[in-house]
A = this chain, B = another copy of it.
Amino acid sequence: MPDFEALETELESKDANAFVHVGDRFDDSLRYLTGFSGPDRHYAFVYDGEAILCAPRLFCEQARKEFSGTVVNASDQTATTAGERAAELVSGTVLVPQEIPHDAAVWLEKADCTLESTDVVERMRVQKTETEIERIRAAQEAAQSGMARAETVLASAEIEGESLRWDGKSLTTEGLRRETNAAMAREGASDDRNTVIGAGKSCADLHFTGTAPIKRGETVLLDLSPRGPEGYYGDLSRTFVVDSEGGWERRAYIAAERAQDAAFDALSEGAGTVANTVHEETAAEIGAYGFRPDGMPGFSHSVGHGVGMSLHEAPSLRENRELEKGAVISVEPGVYDPEKGGVRIEDLVVVRENGFENLTDYPRSLVPTVRD
């Protein structure tokens, strides 16, 4: 559970009595606020100087173990829905995230509360504590175990003509994904259905999850974003080619490597660096290698985003604002061509007072090596 200083300040500055949010276990802000891994139905969080969780029936025990504030049991309230239960506890001006479920907002309004939306939780989430950073590092280590497994499979695949065989079968992106996810599960992390593995042309479709056979000489792009037991994500991408003949993918790989180094250079001053200068330095380096720096074919996305309790959160490296110390961001330049394939290299770093710390410890190489 975070300290609620920023929430306290927000309540004071908006002259509000309470903050309320409602959602289920898939709401990352709620999980950040409560530490409660929760049920798949709505529950309510209330902050009015005291942190309160209106726990659903059958989940009070779990809430008491995971949440260090006050747990209100369903049987102690007359209201039944999460929004109505929160409304029983508050009055006057109430701050809510704009995405609070509509029925909860309606319950609060029926109880004569005046709602005002706030993004204070998104802002609180940017600066990670050292505990949060350790959880992200652990998730990144799980991603590294998955990557090592995938790289080992690629390095030990047999080449038969244009095809790859492994473990007596044709090697497919689906087969590689299963091996990778199993390796992350063994480290206690969930793949969270985020394991993107593209091969050849499908690498250029950024979120495509295919099942196709992997061929000799084509780019294999792996983007792993496992989630650890307390809900924090890792995020790691590497690109390999089995039996590369050089050409496009080698040029693209060198451009991505140099672009990542340019991003690291831009981050070397640490907190206070303007986010979009990191993006611009990266894009310029990709442009210097003859690839389009701002679209397809070329580099078509932002160089990075915040990672924490959500896989994508603030800050974006496209924003014209200073990076805060403790922000955890991905650094992921890529070069894509729908006719040729795609290359991306992604590390996860934390912005420090006078520099940055790379939370990733995984080699960069286009040629796969046996690693486990």
Tell me the complex Cα distance, A176–B34, Å: 27
Residues of the B chain whose Cβ atoms lie less than 8 Å from the Cβ of A186: 178-179, 181-182
Integer count of this chain's copies in the complex: 2
B37 touches A99 (CB 8 A): no
Closest residue of chain B to A206 (Cβ to Cβ) is B58
Interface residues on A, range: 35 or more
In the complex formed, the residue of B with least CB distance to A27 is: B26
**For A312, what are the chain B residues with a Cβ–Cβ distance below 8 Å?**
39-41
A139 CB, nearest partner CB in chain B, Å:
12
Query: A40 — which chain B residues lie within 8 A by C-beta?
Result: 310-312
Closest to A193 in B: B190
Q: Does B208 lie within 8 Å of A61, measured CB to CB?
A: yes
A99-B42 contact given A188-B174, A193-B190, A193-B227, CB 8 Å threshold: yes
Cα distance A65–B208 in the bound complex, in angstroms? 9
Q: Are A117 and B99 in contact (CB under 8 A)?
A: no
**Complex interface: chain B residues within 8 A of A300 (CB):** 58
Which of A62, A102, A186, A229: most chain B CB closer than 10 A?
A: A102
* Minimum distance in angstroms from A76 CB to a CB of chain B: 17
At the interface, yes or no: A33 with Cβ under 8 Å from chain B? no
Q: A96 is contacted by which of B37, B99, B102, B179 (Cβ under 8 Å)?
A: B102
B182/A185 in contact, CB under 8 A: yes
Instruction: Tell whether, in the assembled complex, residue A99 and residue B102 are in contact, meaning their CB atoms are under 8 Å apart.
Output: yes
Q: Does residue A103 face the partner (Cβ distance < 8 Å to B)?
A: yes
A235 within 8 A of B: no
- Across the interface, which residues of B come within 8 angstroms of A42, CB to CB? 99
Question: In the complex the two chains form, what is the Cα distance from A312 to B57 in whole Å?
Answer: 14
CB-based contact A61/B205 at 8 Å:
yes
Interface residue A129 (Cβ < 8 Å from any Cβ of B): no
Residue of B with least CB distance to A338: B61
Least distance between A300 CB and chain B CB atoms (Å): 8
Q: Are A58 and B98 in touch, CB under 8 angstroms? A: no
Q: Which of A203-225 contact B (CB under 8 A)?
A: 205-209
- Ordered by A's residue number, 9 sampled pairs between the chains whose C-beta atoms are within 8 Å are A40-B311, A61-B208, A98-B102, A101-B101, A101-B102, A102-B115, A178-B185, A184-B185, A190-B190
Given contacts A58-B300, A61-B205, list 14 more A-B pairs with CB under 8 A.
A26-B26, A41-B312, A58-B206, A59-B207, A65-B208, A99-B101, A102-B102, A103-B117, A105-B105, A177-B188, A178-B186, A178-B187, A181-B186, A193-B227
